[in-house]
Amino acid sequence: MKTILSKNLGRVVAAIALAVAGSSAFAAQSWDLTACSGSENLGTSKTCSNSGSAAGLVLYGYSNDFDSNTNSTNFSSATIYNWGSSNGLGIVSSVENSGATGPHAIDGKSGIDALMVKFSNGAVNLDSVKIGWNGTDDYSSSSSYNDSDLSVFAWNGSTAPNPTTTSPSGLVGTGWTLIGNFADVGDKAGNKASLTTSVYSSYWLISAYSSAYGTTATGGGTLGQGNDAFKLLALAGNTCAGSVTGGVCGNGGGNSNGVPEPGSLALMGVAMMGFVASRRRKQQAA
């Protein structure tokens, strides 16, 4: 009897485990971009080789850096600066001076700045973008940086992207998918822009808002170009445990680390206990 019970219990446990693995949500991951390097100047690109939450990321800085808010000039490489865990990452373009007074943020003052993030360990589905220092929170009547509108793009091209071959007005429709324009992120809870998308990609671009990206604000608010400034702190989302084709995760989503949420584990435990109790009652009645 004990042998039969053990075999039956093993089969039920295996079945429950497969059901939980196939149906449960998985814990989201987060990537602290300021953990990429302890140095301040990261150059125009930086591979995050440390063992922290930024491990596996590659960062690229861009700006269509002219003294006008043109939408037609191509992006060129720009220097990424790490201003620390309370501020975030900023961009210093070729027409800016890193030693001069100024926010040195991802901004729309001297052209449109953007930071591209490559996830070397596989495609991800982002669900939030968190900023640190920003023009909304740090508004000054004497400063032209008094807003924090930003735009988020995901790459769906067949080869690695190269933003220097296009302008802000050329991003949409050339392999980049606009996930959304987010107004006044500094006013939002936790300084976060919440993304609602099923797209998975290994390349994501976070840019100061440009009118070339359209005029619709995801989640409401009013968009304006030219006075936006923010420093990027962190990203959050899920990795795909299967293959990604055309931006779609083959197994319907989930985190590749395969760690189920506590609720799923509890459900499996309750089911196991119920099965054991049922078997004991039957044995006692026999």
pLDDT tens per residue, range 161-174? 999 999 999 998 88
pLDDT for res 70: 64
Greater model confidence, 37 or 101: 37
pTM for this entry: 0.79
pLDDT at 111: 87
Which of residues 141 and 167 earns the better pLDDT score? Answer: 167
At residue 12, does pLDDT exceed 70? no
Which pLDDT score, from 0 to 100, does residue 241 have?
78
Counting beta carbons within 10 angstroms of the beta carbon of residue 213, is it exposed (0 to 12), middle (13 to 18) or buried (19 or more)?
buried
SS (H, E, C) the chain: CHHHHHHHHHHHHHHHHHHHHHHCCECCEEEEHHHCCCCCEEECEEECCCCCCCCCEEEEEEECCCCCCCCCCCCEECEEEECCCCCCEEEECCCCCCCCCCCCCEECCCCCEEEEEEECCCCEEEEEEEEEEECCCCCCCCCCCCECCEEEEEECCCCCCCHHHCCHHHHECCCEEEEEEECCHHHCHHHEEECCCCCCECEEEEEECCHHHCCCCCCCCCCCCCCEEEEEEEEEEEECCCCEECCEECCCCCCCCCCECHHHHHHHHHHHHHHHHHHHHHHHHC
- Other CB atoms within a 10 A radius of the CB of residue 170 amount to 16
Q: What is the pLDDT of residues 147-161, one digit of tens each?
A: 999 999 999 988 999
Q: Taking residues 205-231, report their average pLDDT.
A: 94
| 35 phi-psi bin (left φ>0, alpha ψ -120 to 50, beta other) | alpha
Given this model, what pLDDT does residue 285 score? 55
Q: What's residue 95's pLDDT?
A: 81
> pLDDT digit string (tens) for 24-82?
333 479 999 999 987 899 999 999 987 688 989 999 999 997 755 567 789 999 999 99
In this prediction, what percent of the chain has a pLDDT beyond 70?
75
CB of 91 closer than 8 Å to CB of 33: no
